[in-house]
Chain A
Amino acid sequence: MDIATLEFKSIQYRRSILTMIKEAGAGHTGGSLSCVDILNVLYNHVMKVNPGNFRSPDRDRYIHSKGHSVEALYTVLTDCGFFPAEDLKTFCKLGSHYVGHPTRKVNGIEQNTGALGHGLSVAVGLALAAKINGQGYRVFTTMGDGELTEGSIWEASMSAAHYKLDNLAVIVDRNTLQITGRTESVMTLEPLADRFRAFGFALREVDGNNLSDLVEVFEQLPFQIGKPSLVLAHTTKGKGISFIENAVDWHHHVPSDAEMGIALAELSQAEANWQATYATV
């Protein structure tokens, strides 16, 4: 998919995320906006998974380890045709399968996540099975930076390197914020790239909200034969909406009517800018 189309989708995705959260009166606003560009590129450009092959053993697998940012995942999955957009009107309503963290009740979702630090182990299992079976599918998982303090992440990292899982790509949504404040004030993660390299990953850093940069880095997978790949994606929490960007309070803040009006206006402006940019090409 070309960059212009991906960029257009990201604008629509941000509108969908905010609308879902506004209508439900709940959701993880900042984290969904920071990781949605990554999901956009993965589902629309990188991974071989779609509603038609979702039951095929050879499909690529995606595990959403940062399960709280489910609004971004639902948005991308419905755009890819896994379920009707109408379904999302039930988000967080009684009895809906579209709950606040991913579950396999929703078409397109591989694994229930939401408790942090779980996704990478499951991804390692899926990637290991492909190696054992001689299958060519790849496995992707996105982790938040706040969840990296979970010890299980580092257990899983050791095993990914030990089993030389170069069919595994781990993306870290490095937006530097978590619910309490800056990640570095909650618990020091840096030097994060060095830490992952020391655990055996081949690592690339990227602007995780820049679609062409993301496309370029994912096209280099695997970064090194015999090693799992790690994409350290530097992102902005709340990306795309001026007053949500880098604001700790917006971890799971629901926009007021007034805030929603401003946010949608900013997205309309982004769409106008997109039209202006690509109309002149």
Chain B
Amino acid sequence: MQPYNLGKPNLQAFADTLLELAENDPDILAVTSDSRGSARLGYFGKQRPQQIIEMGIAEQNLVGVSAGLAAAGKKVFAVSPACFLTTRSLEQIKNDIAYSDQPVKVVGISAGVSYGALGTTHHSLHDLAALQAFYNIDIVVPADNFETEQAVRQAVQHPRPVYLRFGKKAMPDLHAPGTQFTIGKAILLREGADVAFIAIGETVHPALLAADRLAAQGITSSVLSLHTLRPLDEEAILETVQNCRALVTVEEHSVNGGLGSRIASLLMQHSLFRPMRIVGIPDAYTITGSQVEVFDYYGISAEGLAGTAIALLERNSDERRQS
């Protein structure tokens, strides 16, 4: 099993990158809802007090004000916990930003089950589904510090509204030096012939660990970091799936309406059929615990994902023998 160097939380990578960019661009603004601490933007606020706008705990107003600031030419990062930002102010994201084409960078912090033990009020397992149904907002969920830093840099100049989703746990560095990152272009981290893992955000790491575990058993895996859900890199997905016998999608999101169902839809419409499992948070009362504990419980782990892959491959073999 390959070791991965532990980096910092993607949220910290976001805050550090934003500060660096803001020092050279006075038009960059962070807009917060009493959330600068949670967003790791406390230091940013001290260093660039004129570039952080406090809205208090009022997410609807935060998003509407961000749209107005962007309309006046500001490069706005609207930052609030994903669980509140993409539910309470969903209508503002839809109308004030996406429909009105105001290129705000909507930043959902502590997303998915980052706040696992705090309960369902603090989980965001719906945001990818909700935002995918809105026209004109791109969706980027970085896997590690490198993807986060690159996503933030590119978001500043991104011509359309974009949603960025970050977790709060320290993340391992998954990419080799020199890797290219472009919003909308998936990154193939591992290439194999047996099973393909297509993962998004903080689930890319367990997918890689599962691939390592399978390799020890002689099973080769592809691992695709699909950091951008919109625009979807259809070519990379189709090619990756084409080259493998089975597919496992992995996401820190409801299994309804997220990465897995989007890919299933794509494959069906291209008549590309493989045994497939969508691994995510099931349609049930969500268990609470730390993010890692919740991941383990739902099989978003090296062991869980490897087991899912083996079961799929065995079923595939059985079906071939029977036919």
Contacts and interface: CB of A to CB of B under 8 A. Distances in A.
Interface stretch (A29-37, A153-161, A240-248, A259-267): A153-161
A159 B53 CA distance: 10
B65 A156 contact: yes
A59 to B, nearest CB: 11
B289 interface: no
B101 interface: yes
Contact of B53 (A104, A120, A128, A152): A128
Nearest to B98: A112
Interface string A102-131: 011000001111110110111111111110
Contacts of A117: 60
A28 B100 CA distance: 22
B95 interface: yes
B100 to A, nearest CB: 4
Interface string B45-62: 000001001011010110
Contacts of A155: 55-56, 58, 60-61
A152 B61 contact: yes
B186 interface: no
B247 interface: no
Contacts of A123: 68
Contacts of A95: none
Interface of A: 57, 61, 103-104, 110-115, 117-118, 120-130, 132-133, 151-152, 155-156, 158-159, 162
B91 interface: yes
Contacts of A162: 56
A115 B91 contact: yes
Q: Which of A114, A118, A130, A151 has the most CB of B within 10 A?
A: A118
Contacts of A152: 60-61, 64, 92
Nearest to B94: A115
Contacts of B69: 125-126, 128-129
A31 to B, nearest CB: 19
A152 B70 CA distance: 19
The 7 closest A-B pairs by CB, nearest first: A125-B68, A121-B64, A129-B72, A155-B61, A155-B58, A125-B65, A122-B68
A128 B62 CA distance: 12
B66 to A, nearest CB: 6
Contacts of B100: 103-104, 111-112
Contacts of B74: 129, 132
Given A121-B68, A129-B73, A152-B64, A159 B55 contact: yes
Interface residues of B, number: 28
Interface in B158-201: none
A104 B66 CA distance: 17
A109 to B, nearest CB: 10
Contacts of A132: 29, 50, 74
Where chain A touches its partner, the secondary structure class is helix
Interface string B62-91: 011111111111100000000000000001
B134 interface: no
A126 B68 contact: yes
A126 B72 contact: yes
A132 B63 CA distance: 18
6 contacts: A111-B68, A121-B68, A126-B71, A152-B60, A152-B92, A159-B61
Contacts of A114: 95
Nearest to B61: A155
Contact of A128 (B63, B68, B99, B102): B68
Contacts of B96: 111-112, 118, 121-122
A125 B72 contact: yes
Given A122-B64, A125-B65, A125-B71, A158 B95 contact: no
A156 B99 contact: no
Nearest to B64: A121
A101 to B, nearest CB: 10
A156 B56 CA distance: 11
B64 A118 contact: yes
A158 B61 CA distance: 10
B58 A118 contact: no
Nearest to B66: A125
Nearest to A129: B72
Contacts of A122: 64-65, 67-68, 71, 96
Contacts of B73: 57, 129
B95 A118 contact: yes
Contacts of A124: 61, 64-65, 68
Contacts of A118: 64, 91-92, 95-96
B71 A110 contact: yes
Given A122-B67, A151-B60, A159-B55, A112 B92 contact: no
Contact of A115 (B61, B68, B70, B95): B95
B64 A156 contact: yes
A126 B69 CA distance: 5
Q: Which of B29, B68, B69, B95 has the most CB of A within 10 A?
A: B68
A132 B60 CA distance: 21
Contacts of A125: 64-72
A86 to B, nearest CB: 26
Nearest to A119: B64
Nearest to B55: A159
B211 to A, nearest CB: 45
Contact of A129 (B56, B61, B68, B92): B68
B26 to A, nearest CB: 9
B61 A121 contact: yes
